[in-house]
A = this chain, B = another copy of it.
Amino acid sequence: MKTAHENEAAKEELVSALLSFLPREQVTTNQTILEQHSKDESYHTASLPDLVVFPTSADEVSDVMRLAQKYQVPVVPFGVGSSLEGHTIPYEHGITIDFSLMNKVLEVREDNFLVKVQPGVTRSQLNKELKKYGLFFPVDPGADATLGGMAATNASGTTSVKYGVMRDQVRDLEVVLADGEIIHTGSLAAKSSSGYHLNGLFIGSEGTLGCFTELTLRVYGIPEFTMAGRATFKTVDDAVGAVVSILQAGIPIARVELVDEESIHQVNLFSETSYKEQPTLFLEFHGNEAGLTQDVEFMKVIVADHNCDGIEFETDTAARNQLWDARHNLAYAYVHGYPGRKLMVTDVCVPISELAGAISHSREGLQALNLTGGITGHVGDGNFHALIMLDLDNPEEIKSAEKFNEMIVMYALERGGTCTGEHGVGIGKQKYQEKEHGKALRVMEKIKSVLDPNNILNPNKIIKTKGQGESQ
């Protein structure tokens, strides 16, 4: 499509071919819509697709893929564009497949704790539907992402310390492959030892191995009893130490989020809360009342040992929701607090014993490089983020931020961690893949080459394609 991209006649031919099987309203070259599909929520440079299609079924996606093969046109799947590493930005142009019309919850099998959804369903839409059955879907990345996008990046978030990540919830995917074939990667069974684990391979493949057209997900009963609260500490080190001790004591925590003083300040400004502007842990426990009461008493003893200077539990649902909304809106709070600036978020995950050191190292880095931002994280997993507000017109600042990101990544990789705990590789973390995976990257390249020999599926994401420069 490099040719078609620069060639109006070729582009028109492609549109006509698409219109042979798609209704007019499902194919567009409208400039505004192209622009909406040219970016994500990050600082990565925008790039326009040549056209956007809005399929309504797996068969339509399959037909688009066959046509893309015929014309050798890149294809990029798109949910709501909430990714943070440029995953959905079509740097090679071509066709963006927007899944917003495939947004139905197809089936709730409450007796099996399973739900079947189309990829364009968002997590809040799913949870609204599940609530009628006393069920919920736990994976919670903050943004109201689509489930297709969350599976594509192996998203996680605040609850993964208890419930696991996207990969742990997916029983089956319907996938349209590069050649247009439609496969299922799993079954409805709770476990299987049959054949290679294609579920796990396709989850986190960021649109580079296929497009998801249906997902069967595990869901959970809404816990009998939930307790949520905030614990404040004098220092970030104290807060992190408390988390490590809680985990080591085996207290089955459902959520534990660190928010540093600068981030609490942004939360207060944006969410009109009046939380003490100190390093804070947001905590949640799920279980039965007797068990939680015992767990929480034990937890209080532990945090006291780590110089906790205040702990407050929210007893009613409204206050609990306000607490978690405030936490979820943190990225938006920063964006709101620094108009005109763009967000860069680091995303390493380290073994829990390395967490305190990694967070100290990051805070020192922020200060030394004079960057604007703060630290937050799903600290129960060893995953944390530095949120940096960038002035894209200041090349020195961008350079500093990139240096900072690299410092954090190297610190994590040297200690057995990963460069991305939950945001994915996209183009932003591509340069660290060799360092992180070593020769295993050759295995990934082989898998990509055999499943997408013409490299049309989200090209140059995760796996770097020779001869193509980086776009940021």
Contact = CB atoms under 8 A, between A and B. Distances in A.
Nearest to A156: B191
Contacts of A416: 187-189
Interface stretch (A35-43, A306-314, A432-440): A432-440
Contacts of A447: 196, 447, 450-451
A425 interface: yes
Nearest to A288: B294
A181 B439 contact: yes
A109 interface: yes
A215 to B, nearest CB: 14
Interface string A409-445: 0001001111111111100010011001111111110
A418 B198 contact: no
A200 B202 CA distance: 11
A274 interface: no
Given A444-B198, A447-B450, A425 B193 contact: yes
Contacts of A189: 349-351, 381-383, 412, 416-418, 421
Interface stretch (A69-77, A160-168, A254-262): A160-168
Contacts of A109: 351, 353
Given A109-B351, A114-B351, A291-B288, A440 B184 contact: yes
A185 interface: yes
| Contact residues on A (Cβ < 8 Å of other chain), bracket | 35 or more
A448 B447 CA distance: 10
A360 interface: no
A153 interface: yes
B351 A196 contact: no
A415 B197 CA distance: 20
B191 A383 contact: yes
B424 A193 contact: yes
Interface string A165-186: 1011000000001000111110
Which A-B residue pairs are the 10 nearest by beta carbons? A291-B291, A200-B200, A188-B416, A192-B418, A221-B250, A290-B290, A189-B349, A183-B440, A450-B450, A111-B353
Given A189-B382, A196-B204, A220-B250, 10 more contacts: A190-B381, A192-B420, A193-B421, A195-B444, A197-B204, A198-B444, A201-B201, A290-B290, A290-B294, A446-B450
